[in-house]
Amino acid sequence: MDATTSEIATTAARLVVEEGLEYGPAKRRAAAQLGLGRAQLPNNDVLEDAVREYIDLFCGDTQPAELRALRQLALMWMERMVAFRPHLCGAVWQGTATRLSDISIQMFCDDSKSAEIALIDKRVPYQPATVTGFRGEAVEALSFASHSAELDEMVGVHLMVYDLDDLRGALKPDGKGRTPRGDIAAVRRLLQDTAP
């Protein structure tokens, strides 16, 4: 990796951790801040490594508890939405989340509207949106804020609604051989493995 790409990754990692930005916007903003708008941006694996380094250097005393609180809140919502085969993904699943991170849960449904109806039945006010899915396709996202008692603040929760057929390809390992998402049992194991 060249020095320019490394510098963008380091700056973007700070934006991800300190401001809660997603990877794409963080990379573009880092390049702009450094006056490197046309430079080659680091890929997500490089940025994730930079985020882990940043957390180890500057947040090692607070991030583990914050991550645990986010995983607990994610598990609560996964259990509430168990009928829709929820899988935790993103920074909370991968272990790079801080208190500024949102929770991303992918749900694999027979009927996409049934997840929306479930939130209405639970009296959860949500905002629907269309986002880019893990294969580049458009998927519906149901977003809302949920209180974390451990963090004593509201946390953004995003439920992405996929067809049930998409689950088959969703569990393939990523470029580093890791599972890119985990079901309820996997999240429970993570919490048990990191119990204080």
List residues bridging with 38 in a β-sheet. Answer: none
Could you state, in order of their start, the residue ranges of all structural domains in the chain?
3-58, 63-193
What value does the mean pLDDT take over residues 4-31?
94
Instruction: With beta carbons less than 8 A apart as the criterion, state whether 85 and 183 touch.
Output: yes
Q: Which fold has domain 63-193?
A: Beta Polymerase; domain 2 (3.30.460)
73-94 tens-digit pLDDT: 999 999 999 999 999 999 999 9
> What are the tokens at 189?
């194991």
Average pLDDT, the chain: 93
Output the pLDDT for position 114.
93
Would the pLDDT of 175 be above 80? no
Would the pLDDT of 195 be above 80? no
82-131 tens-digit pLDDT: 999 999 999 999 999 999 999 999 999 988 899 999 999 999 999 999 99
List residues bridging with 143 in a β-sheet. Answer: 127, 158
Residue 103: its H or E element: strand 103-109
List residues bridging with 157 in a β-sheet. Answer: 103, 144
Output the pLDDT for position 127.
97
144-161 tens-digit pLDDT: 999 999 999 999 999 999
54-80 tens-digit pLDDT: 999 999 999 999 999 999 999 999 999
How far is the C-alpha of 21 from the C-alpha of 14, rounded, in Å?
9
